[in-house]
Amino acid sequence: PRGLLRESVGGLARADAVILTRATSIDTVAREDIRAAVTRARRGNPPRAWLETEHHPVAVRAWSGTTEPLESLRGRPVLAFCGIGNPAAFRKTLEGTGVEIVGLETYADHHPYSRSDLETIASWAASAGAASIITTLKDLVRIRMERLGDIPLAAIEVAIEPIGPVDDFCRLLGETMLARSTPR
């Protein structure tokens, strides 16, 4: 990922554990690039625990916290937007839900949405005939609204599921929690 708060690859030498997200997302990252990243991360000082995960959309969430099944979007025209590091992954997630994407606007990672941005999105959604405006949970938390203009705003809720064995990771997590709870 990009950004000033991200750890460099050199930081892996201090890591006890590594979690590789979207480990099977060959639709957004080539399989050989994933394997090259794994090889690079395990070189030198391999972590005690390695966990690979995959993301799966599970629901549509409004700012109020109410959720609807993903199927509620199927076939509906939606306008989407996001301010994340990998907008292609967001697009693939949306396409997998069966929505009709009438427009997708991408912003820089951690974009600070202005009133003007939100008015522009609402206007674009209305003119495109969108029934809903969809974003990421990361963006919805920044915006904190139920609607943009007259159109409902919601986010795709994504679950992260482990792939393969989790024993080493769970053991390390348990040891860490025990060490932190023991008085010094």
Interval 33-47: pLDDT, tens: 777 877 777 776 677
Backbone torsions φ then ψ of 29, nearest 5 degrees: -135, 130
**For residue 41, what is the enclosing H or E element?**
helix 31-42
d(CA 102, CA 159): 25
133 closest CA partner among 160, 174, 164, 102: 102
Question: Are 35 and 23 contacting, i.e. CB atoms less than 8 angstroms apart?
Answer: no
pLDDT of residue 27: 57
**For residue 148, what is the enclosing H or E element?**
strand 147-148
How does pLDDT run along the chain (184 residues), one tens digit per residue?
455 556 777 777 788 888 887 777 655 667 787 778 777 777 766 777 888 888 899 999 999 999 999 999 999 999 999 999 889 889 999 998 999 999 999 999 999 999 999 999 999 999 999 999 999 999 999 999 999 999 999 999 999 999 888 888 888 888 888 888 877 6
pLDDT of residue 6: 66
d(CA 86, CA 2): 10
What's the whole-model pTM score?
0.79
d(CA 11, CA 17): 11
128 closest CA partner among 70, 60, 62, 80: 80
d(CA 132, CA 147): 9
Which two structure tokens, joined as six digits, stand for 56? 């799966």
